[in-house]
Amino acid sequence: MTDTTETSAAAGAHGTTEAAETATAGQAAGAATARTIAVHVRYYASARAAAGTEAETLDLPEGADLAAALDAIRAQHDAALARVLTAASFLLDEVAVRRHSAPLHDGARLDVLPPFAGG
């Protein structure tokens, strides 16, 4: 009789382990399916020099706004580009945007335009 009780307890523990593994796999699958958007960033003049590149693509979470894109850019580059961003103007899909809360969409084009001198 002891053997049956031990076997049932082991099976119950094994079932609990399987349930925990299934839940963890489900959570991982949910995290893996978190939707992202690709935002194509182009840098001009001193922004290009500070970024060290002409363009790059950011992978941002769905629902990201301009502020999130700027945070991602600052995180990937050094302080020189961060300084340029504080004075830069931005075009989102070729339209000037001033609100950092402006929403982004998959495939958006973000142009970073530093202040230009001259006229």
User: Which H helix or E strand runs over 76?
Assistant: helix 66-76
pLDDT tens digit sequence for 21-30:
444 444 554 5
Residues 94/97/103/108 CA torsion (nearest 10 deg): 20
List of residues 6+ apart from 53 with CB closer than 8 A? 43
Residue 93 is predicted with a pLDDT of: 98
pLDDT tens digit sequence for 59-78:
999 999 999 999 999 999 99
Place of tokens 């530093």: 114
Structural domain 36-113, CATH architecture: Roll (3.10)
Q: Which residues of the chain have pLDDT under 70?
A: 1-33, 117-119
